[in-house]
Structure 1
Amino acid sequence: MDTPSEDGEPLPPQLMFLKRLVTGLAVVMIAGFLVLIAALVIRLNRPLITLPDQIALPAGAEAQAFTQGADWFAVVTTDDRILIYDRASGALRQTVTVD
């Protein structure tokens, strides 16, 4: 059955198809946007990675950068050293000197 246009005449079949296509696209876009928002909410509500409250740097060392792995984290110092710490205990695991 044809839907009447504003002036009361029925719409041609091609325009009805186009109208349904545009409506379907709008529904898919809204659903995709809602899925995107849900994914962001789920991702941002994950627990943060736990780190020790304090990190004991060697005397005279000043932190310049920070990076982390699965069970470790590292602090790059201004005197060209990389200090690798254990994530669970916070103890210094290894020191790497950068040449």
Structure 2
Amino acid sequence: MLRWLRMLVTALAVVMGLGMLVIAALLWLRLSQPPLPELPEQIVLPEGAHPAAVTFARDWLVVVTETGEVLLYDKQGRLHQQVQP
């Protein structure tokens, strides 16, 4: 009985160690990615605007600037709507 318990504890410790390695590897992979995707070449932001968030939709591209302004672009890169905070 004691031998079985020792093997069980050892197996659980090995599984927990492997799980910690997997979690550390996943965090390292996810956090090493660039924070924002690159904007397409045809998108021209207004002067002085810096992107804080970018959302790619099927037919639209939404850019939120650091000042909170929301810019809505179509597939061709034309600015359709500009919403001020």
Q: Name the TM-score class by shorter chain.
A: 0.5 to 0.7
Indicate conservation of the 8 Å contact 2:54/2:63, yes or no: yes
> How far is the alpha carbon of 1:74 from its aligned partner?
2.6
Q: Does 1:41 align with 2:28?
A: yes
Percent identity between the two aligned chains: 39
Return the letter of the residue paired with 2:17.
Answer: I
- How does the TM-score come out when normalised to structure 1? 0.51
> How far is the alpha carbon of 1:15 from its aligned partner?
1.1
CA displacement 1:26-68 (0-9 Å, x = unmatched): 000000001111111221233442248x9426xxxxxxxx543
Give the unaligned 5+ runs of structure 2.
none
2:38 match: secondary structure = coil
Count, aligned residues? 75
- Detail structure 1 runs of 4+ shifted over 3 Å in the superposition: none
1:69 match: secondary structure = strand
Task: Calculate the aligned-residue CA RMSD, in Å.
Answer: 3.5
CA displacement 1:62-98 (0-9 Å, x = unmatched): xxxx543113313434xxxx43356x96x63312478
